[in-house]
Amino acid sequence: MIKEVPILIKNLIRDKCVATIAPSSRFVVRRICNSIDFRGDITLVEYGPGTGVITSALLQKMSSNSELIAIEKNKGLFNYLNKIKDHRLSIINGDVMKVDTLLQKNLKRDKADYIVSGIPFSLCKKEERENLVGKTYALLSKDGRFILYQTSTAMKQHLIPQFAKIKTSFELINLPPMFILEASK
């Protein structure tokens, strides 16, 4: 994970939407993976995968017929992610605010079982946050789950109107420490 730090810093300087200087810790990765049932074939979407630390962990746990679609807006990080070679992974260079149209061509199944997001929602306008939560809800299967890792719980207020259940946990061992929000339909 140390090798990803220079690429994150370089892209942080160039892009205000990159909001971290260090990849997610193995503790954050473990919490996210523990929120996902990998026993069957699943469809995952990842918003803002950065250098792919979580992406790689998800791929290690997924079945051979599962799929993962990673959407990365930053061109430098998108290029870095393309080093991950796996038939189950599709990487899209695009804006998650347009997730509905981006996934029309890339989603093999009708709906996603899980959507994982590390994008810095605090940098988005309120309308953008609410719009993306609505699109995310619509893209999830009936038992789908939206898993966010954020530096605060501020997104919870945007999740409550849409999702039936929201579970919050905290991981101190990360730079910066992270809240993990699991929103279930």
DSSP state of 61: H
Question: Tens digit of pLDDT for each residue in 116-152?
Answer: 999 988 888 999 999 999 999 999 999 999 999 999 9
Domains of the chain: 4-184 (3.40.50.150)
What is the pTM assigned to this prediction? 0.88
Mean predicted confidence (pLDDT) in 65-91: 95
- What pLDDT is attached to residue 137? 98
pLDDT band at 106 (very low <50, low <70, confident <90, very high): confident
CA 124 to mean position of chain CA atoms: 15
Helix pair 53-61, 26-34: axis angle to 10 deg:
40
- What pLDDT is attached to residue 103? 86
